[in-house]
Structure 1
Amino acid sequence: MSHPLISAPGTPELLIILAIVILVFGAAKLPDLARGTGQALRIFKAETRGLRDDEEKAKDALPSSEEPAEGEIVEDHRRDTSAG
């Protein structure tokens, strides 16, 4: 088994990253930064959940077969928009 050259960051590395973030953004800006990130994540999750729900509704609305069965009468209900 080979050992990877780069491993996941441990506690000392995370503390160094946190210190650099505090120096760059300042301690007063961190709560606003965290709040904005949390709101963006909630919005993203809600939108992806909505897309999944829409796909499931579309799948449920489709008939099991797209081609008509033999002997079935199919009517075209599309509107003719070419005539003005």
Structure 2
Amino acid sequence: MFGIGMQELIIILVIVLIIFGAGKLPEIGAGLGKAIKNFKTATSESEKKEHDKIDEDKKS
């Protein structure tokens, strides 16, 4: 996974816990989840528009 091992992930999690505290983690997780969902939606819409344009050009 991106060249990051289990030890690196644990270290990153500990640093995040120190910086933000345990109380903020659910808010951060929810925000990150929404951002990823929006990114995937935008990407799939962009790909669909591109494919539609290619199909339209083929018909011409």
TM-score, scaled relative to structure 2: 0.78
Q: Which has the higher contact order (CA 8 A, sep 6+)?
A: 2
Alignment partner, residue 41 of structure 2? 46
The match for 2:31 among 33, 36, 53 is 36
Question: 5 Å matches for 1:5-44?
Answer: 8-44=3-39
Q: Closer, same or farther in 2 for the Cα pair 1:64/1:9, shift >3 Å?
A: closer
Q: Which runs of 4+ in 1 moved over 6 A?
A: none
The match for 1:57 among 47, 52, 60 is 52
Gaps of 5+ in 1: 1-7, 66-84
Root-mean-square deviation (Å): 1.8
Residues of 2 paired with 1:14 and 1:32: CA distance?
19
Which structure is larger by alpha-carbon Rg, 1 or 2? 1
Alignment partner, residue 75 of structure 1? none
TM-score, scaled relative to structure 1: 0.59
Q: Work out the number of aligned pairs and report it.
A: 58
Percent identity between the aligned chains? 40
